[in-house]
Chains A and B, each alone.
Chain A
Amino acid sequence: MPFRLSGPVARVVLAGLWWLLSPCAALSAGDTLRVLAWPGYADADLVAAFEQRSGVRVEVTLVDSDEALWQKVSDHDAADFDVFAVNTAELRRYIRSGWVVPIDTRAIPNLSRQMPRFRALDQIPGIVHAGRPYAIPYTYAEMGLIYDRSQFSTPPDSIEALWEPGLRRRVLAYNGGVHSFSLAALALGSDHPFDVRDDDWTQLAQKLIDLRRNVLTFYTLPDESVQLFREKRVALLFANYGSQQVQLLKRAGVDVGYAIPREGALAWLDCWAITRGARDVPLAHAWIDYFLEEGPSAALTTRQGLANTTATPSGSESQRLIWLEPVEDAERRNRLWARILSGDNLKRVMQP
């Protein structure tokens, strides 16, 4: 009979020993920080370092779309998560719905490491409400166009390239309702891509149906886009994740170029925000502060190709970046987008 150290007594003893030896025994070891983040934002080693420092367990949940993020945060009155990464455009509706609480900037000493444009929180649309900041910028990226150098003699200079019939079924676009409508608006020459007027919906929907007919498919995650790009000889990619995807593709050995179209590139700024249901608000602040340190900030850039808020990137000052803003009706955009994605025709898409 093989004898194992498995009795309940042994387990209790081991648990006791573990508790005594654990460096965080003094801290509330039972706590868990529940983080909702995007891929690449909270790598396991960074999380582990934070866990070791704070003595709490961190549970990271990944999201791949704004809709999924909204769904998860708003579920159960924002009680499922403590801290989450959200872009400035999305943040407003979270503030409006009361899912987030103001940030105590004094509890985040590393704010002083940030570049001036990110320190001036009131200059960034959507962060400050009633004089109080609700998020801390963490990373940002512009949504340029990635192209296969072997299939382009000159870099694409317009968003319209995505609709180019010559590239039919060699284009990859992002599966997201809010951005897609902004993208379509930019393509149609609109100067208010985040504020679609009633008259414009049909035109935009048709533009997106046209896009659907020109793309190979819509991706959601960076890795997925890289795999499709490589395997399906894709020529052009709308880079929702920006330089992150460029870096992934280059690492995968694809000869790609990155272009900011003349219409300008949508750019998102992701911030950390704290939910109303956060169990341990100081801990959530500590999490935010930690990710503004040099290590995690540098990791963001070197590993993910994402710009961090503590260092100035090279070049790209002259390029036109259109910071994402809250859209007029995200729900409507998503509802219409789901129909477009499912393959409905214009009539069915525009049904009430």
Chain B
Amino acid sequence: MEAEAAKLIGAGLAMIGAIGAGAGIGVVTSGAVQAMSRNPEMTGTIQTNMILGIAFAEAVAIYCLVVSLLILFVF
């Protein structure tokens, strides 16, 4: 196989990790929305914690993205 083709396939495979982050963000947001609808006074605190949770879940997808970008444009 040509090295160029292997690079492209590898960059695509690296992004598989985004599945987990997507599912994680969905779980976090659904929980936060349920909590907010049950207890609207706590919306501010819940939102802060929700954004934190999303940021942590998203970080994993960003690692995948960085690996994929490194494969494509650096190596």
Do A and B form a real pair? Answer: no
Q: Which residues of B contact A (CB under 8 A)?
A: none
